[in-house]
Structure 1
Amino acid sequence: MTEALREPTFLILTALADKPQHGYGVLEDVRRISDGRVRLRAGTLYSVLDRLREEGLVEVDREEVVQSRLRRYYRLTGAGAERLAAEVDRLRRNATAAAARLRRGNLLADGGPA
């Protein structure tokens, strides 16, 4: 059984699932995906990206120089996409089980999550 992803890791992988992005793009995308609830700091982002690279879940897509600064773009690998899909499935199963129990206990209004 694979260990659950921490939320920042899940959100970073989610941000990269759409297209390769540079660090600032990932930071902003994570903020949007989480409706502003999660605001990563650059140091946190790059330490997570380094770990994800070591694990083979993300890789450098390309680098470019913008205003004399190196901008590195990251992308999800095939293994990263599989890991993200597995986490989505795990979360969906857990949410479905919780919603079913809430409904059985008459604690969830009709029309709530399945």
Structure 2
Amino acid sequence: MRKSQLDLGRFSDPSLLILSSLAAGPKHGYAMMEDIYLFSGTRLEPGTLYGAIARLEQRGWIEALESEDRRRPYRITPAGVAFLREQLTSWQRVIATGLQRLPASS
């Protein structure tokens, strides 16, 4: 990790990371943590992950699926897809603007 990332942290909103993970298909908690680490480099602690999962379920953006073992898989709902699309589109505009405003590298 570069020093600047250590100093300032990273974009790691657990809700957006979880929704992005579930956009690729249903997963249980540990699989989400691994997927999130692979695509973002962010390690979510179990307490952070499951707290965010509870909030996402309350909002109707994800739902638990039936499971025959103790691992509970979750999937993103249509409302969750709409919310994720809206948030990512907004961030895309912010990122594009920020990159345009940076001075040319020398």
Matched residue, 1:21: 27
Matches within 5 A, 1:81-100: 81-100=81-100
Q: Which has the higher helix share?
A: 2
Which structure 1 segments of 5+ residues have no match? 1-5, 110-114
Across the aligned residues of Structure 1 and Structure 2, the Cα RMSD in angstroms comes to 1.6
**Per-residue CA shift, 1:67-110, capped at 9, x if unaligned?**
xxx110000000000010001100111111112222xxxx134x
Q: How many angstroms apart in 2 are the aligned matches of 1:62 and 1:15?
A: 19
- Cα shift at 1:55: 0.4
Matched residue, 2:68: 64
Q: How many angstroms apart in 2 are the aligned matches of 1:41 and 1:98?
A: 30
Identity score, percent: 38
Matches within 5 A, 1:1-114: 7-34=13-40, 36=41, 38-65=42-69, 70-102=70-102, 107-109=103-105
How many residues matched?
A: 95
Paired residues of 1:99 and 1:108 also in contact (CA < 8 A): no
Larger Rg: 1
Q: TM-score, normalised by structure 1?
A: 0.77
Paired residues of 1:63 and 1:71 also in contact (CA < 8 A): yes
**Which 4+ residue blocks in structure 1 deviate beyond 2 angstroms?**
none
Q: How many angstroms apart in 2 are the aligned matches of 1:44 and 1:101?
A: 34
- Cα shift at 1:64: 2.0
Q: TM-score, normalised by structure 2?
A: 0.83
Q: How many angstroms apart in 2 are the aligned matches of 1:28 and 1:54?
A: 24
Paired residues of 1:11 and 1:33 also in contact (CA < 8 A): no
Q: How many angstroms apart in 2 are the aligned matches of 1:60 and 1:17?
A: 14
